[in-house]
Amino acid sequence: MNMLKSAIVGLALISANTPVHADVIGDWNNTAMDVMKAVNVGGNPWTRSMALVNVSMSDAINSVQNRYSRYIPELPTDPNASAEAAAAAAAREILMRQYPGQKERIDAAFAETTKTIPDNPARAAGIDLGKKVADAVFTERQSDATNTPDTYRPLTTPGVWVPTTPPLFPQYATAKPWGLDSASQFRPAPPPALNSALYARDYNETKEMGGVKSTKRTDAQSDAVRFWTQANLGPAWFQAARQASARHNQPVAESARVFALMSMALANCFIVDWDAKFQYNFWRPITAIRNGDQDGNDATERDAGWQPLNATPMHPEYPSQAGINAGAARAVLEAVFGSGTEDFVATDTSDARLSRKFTSFAQMAQEHKEVRIWGGIHYRNSLEVGDAMGRKVANHLLANYMKPAP
């Protein structure tokens, strides 16, 4: 009896002092975000890296388990390999190729993962398979034209000064998307005419709500604007996906599929949206409102000193990037987890004391859009058009990629 009691106490101590190992997919998404934060990568390249990591992990796992179709179907398979080891090795390989200066951080994460996997032939086979999968995915994306030289030509007339800060990543406007025919596949119609009632509606809403001196924006709305910086907009969707995946107790292949589809969709958003932005070259509110007397619309009064609450991003206004991201991520997550109640928390990537709580994917998607008006950098129509584009991107991927294996 005493021996039994001792054994029970010993097991309890072991359990209490052994950290719970989270899903390998969520772990490596966190590692990827930490790596990119350390080297100050954001925006377009950030989403490309997240897609490379997650597609590689999904393909690696399904090269073992064959639960869903693979992005590169010709990859080798090994049903006797460890799926977790394959996923970790794939993620590690992708990150090392892109961010070799972060080797210590990446190797530490790999050691943390592999210590939970028995050291046997299956683990060795999984590591070997994961490297091969990552190599294939990485090689396939080397021709995506995201690293072509920046040859953006500022619009001006000879001799006239224009602001000299170049736009962000203009080459993404002609890059190769993930699983789409072209960057222009879902290009929307042009923005509303400057003399239209729709334009006047949006102009005045952003002018009233988004100015730094706005008296109509509430303190709560201003707090939301300050929270949703570019550094939080993308990671928040991955935080939501991880929490939902854990709550629904998803097996590793199902979790990998969610992250792969969402990261592909978000990477595509920074390509198809850039195509439309640089096609239409529509002016931002700060430019429009300071030139409200030149747009041919009697309903848009000029404010010569108007300033937005948010800093204005260095790329054209239409369609909204926040809108397309919200539409795409929400569509993927709702396709998997449903559109009902889903509690989760979005935490600031720089200050863990700051967070925002949500009860559905739709709720966070809506706030992502509203803050761009409250911050003075977008018009409502641009957000609505972007949202619709994002849904089209997501639905195309859901219908054609990572489908259940026969």
CA distance 28 to 53: 8
Tokens representing 239? 């935080």
User: Given this model, what pLDDT does residue 156 score?
Assistant: 85
User: Given this model, what pLDDT does residue 162 score?
Assistant: 83
User: Given this model, what pLDDT does residue 15 score?
Assistant: 29
CA distance 49 to 54: 9
Which residues belong to CATH 1.10.606.20 in the chain? 172-400
In the 8-state DSSP scheme, what is residue 174? G
Q: Which helix (H) or strand (E) holds 345?
A: strand 344-347
User: Given this model, what pLDDT does residue 154 score?
Assistant: 85
Architecture in CATH of 20-143? Up-down Bundle (1.20)
CATH 1.10.606.20, applies to 172-400: yes
Extract the residue ranges of the chain whose pLDDT is less than 70: 1-22
Which residues belong to CATH 1.20.144.10 in the chain? 20-143
User: Given this model, what pLDDT does residue 155 score?
Assistant: 83
User: Given this model, what pLDDT does residue 5 score?
Assistant: 38
Angle subtended at Cα 395 by Cα 394 and Cα 398, rounded to the nearest 5 degrees: 85
pTM of the full structure: 0.92
User: Given this model, what pLDDT does residue 158 score?
Assistant: 83
CA distance 25 to 36: 17
The alpha carbon of 301 is separated from its chain's Cα centroid by a whole number of angstroms, namely 36
The amino acid sitting at 206 is: T
CA distance 65 to 53: 18
User: Given this model, what pLDDT does residue 14 score?
Assistant: 30
